[in-house]
Structure 1
Amino acid sequence: MPLVVVGSVALDSVETPEAKRENVLGGSAVYFSLAARFFTRVRLVGVVGEDWPAEHTKLLEDSGVDVSGLSVVPGAKTFRWRGRYLPNMNDRETLEVQLNVMEQFDPVLPEEHRRCRFLFLANGSTRMQLRVLEQCVGPNLTVADTMDHWIRTEPQELRTLLQRIDGLVLNDFEATLLAEEQNLIRAGRKILEMGPNFVVIKKGEHGAMFFSRHEMYVLPAYPTADVIDPTGAGDSFAGGMMGYLAEQTEFSPEDLKTAMAYGIVVASFTVEDFSVYRLLKIRRQDIDARLDAYRKMLTF
């Protein structure tokens, strides 16, 4: 089934201890889309400026992503992020953020996008996420991402959003900030009480935790020796997870667990090169083969 994602489309400049890249393709909606496309049709909604390279749009189209919801604002500039990773390749410093077109991003979804069965609200303003929800007609599954900035600056809007979505994806620091709990178990359970049916807490190189009213479990990260650029790993995780769920006819506990595993495996490919380049070189067969290896690692 088609899956709609609304979020940032960006030009990233990334520095690691070994190398750097300037103005490469990035953004939460981009990583998500290129991860989810292995499982289902993806419709991307985002905004860019006049400086946006046309070849990036062609790359997305050639990869099977529907970009009819991607708007170009004349005379404006694309969202840009610049960051540096520390030697452990898990911690990073944000050196510069230029919101540009994202500052006034108020998406109007094309008509065919409004009746989507699967909706992912990628990282962005909570107010914007709520406006998107108001345009959609009864999706079967709605999941959102958030970050510390929105938790701090739009707390009331976030509380409203949590009452209207099925699932929330966020990292461990964001979970403790939102729940005001340092223990991740208590934090996950407290966020559940705020409204969503399930919560996924990403833990970077340590995998992810799943919380629902009926169960809790932890899945480790796939062991990857060649970590080149961790940018977009969390968005790729969400794309793999949501893409798999959109491929299913129901959401049993087993489906949710398998979706988490697929998300972890897809993210393990993303970090093996800068930007989205690794995702462009693999096929679904590669993902399934790595999932089989991952499953064997967890069997005892």
Structure 2
Amino acid sequence: MDVVTFGETMVLFTPETTGFMRYAHAYSRKFGGSETNFAIGLARLGHSAGWISRVGDDELGKAMLSFIRGEGVDVSRVRLDAQAPTGIYFKEIRNASDVNVYYYRKGSAASLMTKDDLDETYLMQAKYLFVSGITPALSDSCREMVWEAIRLAKKHRLTVVFDPNLRKKLWPEEQARETLLAIAAEADIVLPGISEGKFLFGERDPIVLGQRFLDHGAKTVVLKLGEQGAHYFTREENAHVPGFPVERVIDPVGAGDGFAAGLVSGLLDGLPLADAVKRANAVGAIVTMVNGDVEGLPEREDLKRFMETPIEEVIR
């Protein structure tokens, strides 16, 4: 197993029309969650990934498991919970630059996860553990699960990758700041965006932010800069890696998860950090061009073709 991750994935309903959701009458049903977006992204690129979670023992939960399993992600450690439902959310696309997400996840099966849902034998087979900042926001027991997962990862020498994935609506800001900073201090690789850096450290300057995360304890920081690409930082070096041009952004949701998958894929392939970040930028860009969280995640040949296409052809 290359990577193990854990957290909540929900059923996604998207109106088939743009504009205010109040006027929508027809919806498409999909599935989305930071951790499974990431895991599916890795599977599409030829890596092995496992996901730990709980879903409701209901039709939506069973459909979700079938879908994620079909995308090549191992779901053998996902539990069906007969006492709680599968979470759902709605994505309202008013226009390409105005996308709203509405969550209905309180009391969901995944929010009831505990550290007992972790399987140490399963974790120790992996090289990387991917942690999202959404999971500790779900409940006290999920927060305990995060810390236990990190403890087990360190015990078995897994590389811990942390995406802060700030969701202010899920928990009090002070608790969010304290918890995310504490996890960032324990992670080997941290993947913040500028807005998350501003929330955590009160800074927006990329160079300052990168150094702040390093001083806080991270070994490697890859700061996501949207269409401008990313800036990576280690104790020895830091550099900006330009992004890939996109003719038209269709749906930006899920781009960060694709970015994380591209980065870890590059590292698993033994690429230098700069090249792994370049791959991350490419995957993130591709995802924005397709509606849906996972629908745009590329397979390896698609990624290679996109990265080798001259810029003038991409933006034509």
TM-score by length of 1: 0.84
2:283 paired residue number: 266
8 Å contact kept, 1:5–1:44: yes
Counterpart amino acid of residue 92 in structure 1? V
Q: Find out whether 1:114 has 2:130 as its counterpart.
A: no
For residue 103 of structure 1, the aligned residue among 92, 102, 111 is 111
1:134 and 1:205 map into 2 onto residues whose CA distance is: 35
> 1: CA distance between counterparts of 2:56 and 2:254?
21
Matched, 1:141 2:159: yes
Whether contact under 8 Å (1:172, 1:203) holds in the other structure is yes
Unaligned runs of 5+ in 2: 137-142
Distance 1:203 1:152 in 2: 25
Equivalent residues in 2 for 1:26-37, closer than 5 Å: 26-37=32-43
Q: Taking structure 1 as reference, are residues 296 and 188 closer, same or farther at Cα in structure 2, changes over 3 Å only?
A: farther
The match for 1:251 is none
- Name the CA distance, whole Å, in 2 between partners of 1:147 and 1:222: 22
The list of structure 1 runs, each at least 4 consecutive aligned residues, that deviate by more than 6 angstroms after superposition, is 294-297
Give how far 1:70 is off. Answer: 1.8
Structure-1 separation of matches of 2:259 and 2:210: 18
- The count of aligned residue pairs is 289
1:64 aligns with one of 54, 58, 72: 72
Residues 97 and 29 of structure 1, relative CA distance in 2, 3 Å threshold = same
Which amino acid letter does the alignment assign opposite residue 35 of structure 2? A
**CA–CA distance in 2 between the matches of 1:295 and 1:225?**
10
- Find the aligned partners of 1:227 and 1:296 in 2 and give their Cα distance: 17
Alignment-derived partner of residue 287 in structure 1: 303
Q: Does 1:7 align with 2:11?
A: no
Alignment check: 8 A CA contact 1:39 1:244 kept: no
**Structure 2: which amino acid aligns with 1:35?**
G
How far residue 174 of structure 1 moved from its aligned partner, in angstroms, is 0.6
RMSD between aligned residues: 2.8
- Structure 2 contact 96–250 (Cα < 8 Å) conserved: no
Q: Which residue type is aligned with residue 114 of structure 1?
A: L
Residue of structure 2 in register with 1:153 after alignment = 175
- Please say if residues 39 and 247 of structure 1, whose CA atoms lie closer than 8 Å, have aligned partners that are also in contact: no
Distance apart, 1:53 and its partner CA: 4.4
1:277 counterpart = 2:283: no
Residues 76-95 of structure 1 mapped to structure 2, 5 A cutoff: 76-85=84-93, 87-89=95-97, 91-95=98-102
Q: How far did 1:34 drift? A: 1.1
**Local SS of the residue matching 1:174:** helix
Distance 1:204-1:26 versus aligned 2 partners, 3 A rule: same
| TM-score, structure 2 normalization | 0.80
**Structure 1 partner of 2:274:** 257
How many Å separate the matches in 1 of 2:184 and 2:33?
23
Of 156, 172, 181, which residue of structure 1 is paired with 2:203?
181
Q: 1:124 aligns with which of 130, 134, 150?
A: 134
Matched, 1:213 2:198: no
Instruction: Tell me: CA distance 1:206–1:8, structure 2 relative to 1, closer, same or farther (3 Å).
Output: farther
**1:104 CA displacement:** 2.6
* Aligned residues of 2:8 and 2:135 also touching (Cα < 8 A): no
The one-letter code of the counterpart of 1:206 is Q
Distance 1:290 1:208, change over 3 A: same
Please give the alpha-carbon distance, in whole angstroms, between the structure 1 residues aligned to 2:132 and 2:42: 13
Separation of aligned partners in 2, 1:160 and 1:87? 36
- Give CA-to-partner distance per residue, 1:66-125, whole Å, 9 cap, x none: 111222211312222333345353x53333442423333325223442212211112324
Residue 191 of structure 2: SS of its match in structure 1? strand
Contact 1:119/1:139 (<8 A) preserved: no
Instruction: List aligned pairs for 1:220-239, cutoff 5 A.
Output: 220-239=242-261
Q: Which moved more, 1:68-77 or 1:167-176?
A: 68-77
CA contact (8 A) 1:3 1:243 kept: no
Instruction: Note if contact 1:40-1:244 (Cα within 8 Å) is conserved in structure 2.
Output: no
